[in-house]
Chains A and B, each alone.
Chain A
């Protein structure tokens, strides 16, 4: 079963706008990770946030984690057409990751 559930399933925005994707999960976690998948490619790790962290930044990415609500959000600022991809959250249980169903982001030029 999928631990993480992303919301929305699909998001379409204009270049330059910000994109926010949300992830909810069910059980306690050690960390939460976000990955990007371009069409026809493998997943690429974006950022990892530990359970004792509330916010983390990496370039144009900002991730928040609320363990009390069992939720996380990924914000991409000043989006570009190249950001068009599917974005997945993944929670870890021991050594394994469980991925959500993903958000398909389309950034229109």
Chain B
């Protein structure tokens, strides 16, 4: 298995632009998690899905953030409009069931100027 796949690996955008991050979980995993990692706040859970359904989005910082999972093999995290404080590394992780070990993707490093 290729593991969790994220794209792009790096994204540099200007403030106000829309940003879309993509994730392909490991096949057969029922859970998908989106995290954000910064030096100041550490690793924060933004939202997670079970069987494509959003279960807990309490970590989504504000309405500018949205996440979808249209099918079992694809999820997106969208920021519109982006702001410099959104600069971080965004990780996607999947798990066969919870609370089992989570498998992380390589992350997307987002820089908003």
Q: Please tell me if the beta carbons of B98 and A95 are within 8 angstroms of each other in the complex.
A: yes
| Residue from A31, A41, A45, A102 within 8 A of B102 (CB atoms) | A45
Which chain B residues lie closer than 8 Å to A20 at the CB level?
none
Tell whether A71 is near chain B: CB-to-CB under 8 Å. no
Tell whether A44 is near chain B: CB-to-CB under 8 Å. yes
Spot the interface stretch: B13-21, B41-49, B60-68, B76-84.
Answer: B41-49
Q: Please tell me if the beta carbons of A42 and B99 are within 8 angstroms of each other in the complex.
A: no
Most buried by B among A2, A42, A94, A101: A42
Which chain A residues in 79-97 approach chain B with CB under 8 Å? 88, 92, 94-97
| Residue from A45, A48, A88 within 8 A of B103 (CB atoms) | A45
| Residue from A48, A96, A101 within 8 A of B48 (CB atoms) | A96
Which chain A residues lie closer than 8 Å to B42 at the CB level?
2, 99-102
Tell whether A78 is near chain B: CB-to-CB under 8 Å. no
Chain B interface category by residue count = 20 to 34
Q: Please tell me if the beta carbons of A97 and B102 are within 8 angstroms of each other in the complex.
A: yes
Nearest-neighbor residue (CB-CB) of B98 within chain A:
A95
Most buried by A among B56, B100, B105, B106: B100
A43 to B103 CA separation, bound complex (whole angstroms): 8
Q: Please tell me if the beta carbons of A48 and B107 are within 8 angstroms of each other in the complex.
A: no
Given A2-B42, A97-B99, does the pair A43, B104 have CB atoms closer than 8 Å?
Answer: yes
Which chain B residues lie closer than 8 Å to A33 at the CB level?
101
